[in-house]
Amino acid sequence: MFLEWASIVLTVLLSSYVILIANRKKEKLSCTAGKMISMTNSMMTSVTVGTIFGIFFRNTDLTIPTIISMTAGIIIGYLTGKPLSLMAVLEGITAGIMGGMMGAMLGIMLQETYLNILIYFIDVVFVLVTILLIKVIDQEVSKFNKNEKSFHSI
């Protein structure tokens, strides 16, 4: 039970950090980058939350874990995409819906013996994808800064 809650806390902290970075650097991010950032953040969050809540509610049906994880994905997609563009919001919301359904199905279908292994695996993948996402944001910002410098030198 501790591992599941630790995974949820890790997910909330990292997805909130991505939202914060996207908000701070919104002027330097293109619409395409914004859509990708919103989609990635909401998809990874909703898959992780869906898997965990699927494990929590494994003795019931898919309704509750699906609703919880889709709602989390929609909220994260909206918050990540809102400062960037309306297209980024839509991309994030739809990715959150899809990830929420997939995560809940995965969590409920697991056998009892492999629960912890999958939680560790999903957490590692979540952290690695978040690190890559932060690197993409930094790369987009540096590309913007480079283009801005070359524009001013003309």
31-56 and 86-109 helices, crossing angle to 10°: 20
The angle subtended at Cα 104 by Cα 115 and Cα 94, nearest 5°, is 140
Q: Is residue 59 part of a domain?
A: yes
Angle at 20 between CA 127 and CA 3, to 5 degrees: 35
Residue 60 lies in domain: 2-146
**Each residue's pLDDT tens digit in the chain (154 positions)?**
899 999 999 999 999 999 999 999 999 999 899 999 999 999 999 999 999 999 999 888 899 999 999 999 999 999 999 999 999 999 999 999 999 999 999 999 988 888 999 999 999 999 999 999 999 999 999 988 887 666 555 5
Q: What is the pLDDT of residue 154?
A: 56
The tokens for 60 are 């019931």
**Residue 154: inside a domain, yes or no?**
no
Measure the CA–CA gap between 100 and 74, rounded to whole angstroms: 9
Q: For the whole model, what pTM was predicted? A: 0.89
71 assigned to some structural domain: yes
Residue 70 near residue 21 (C-beta atoms within 8 A): no
Question: Which pLDDT score is estimated for 28?
Answer: 92
Instruction: Report if residue 151 sits inside a domain.
Output: no
- pLDDT at residue number 118: 93
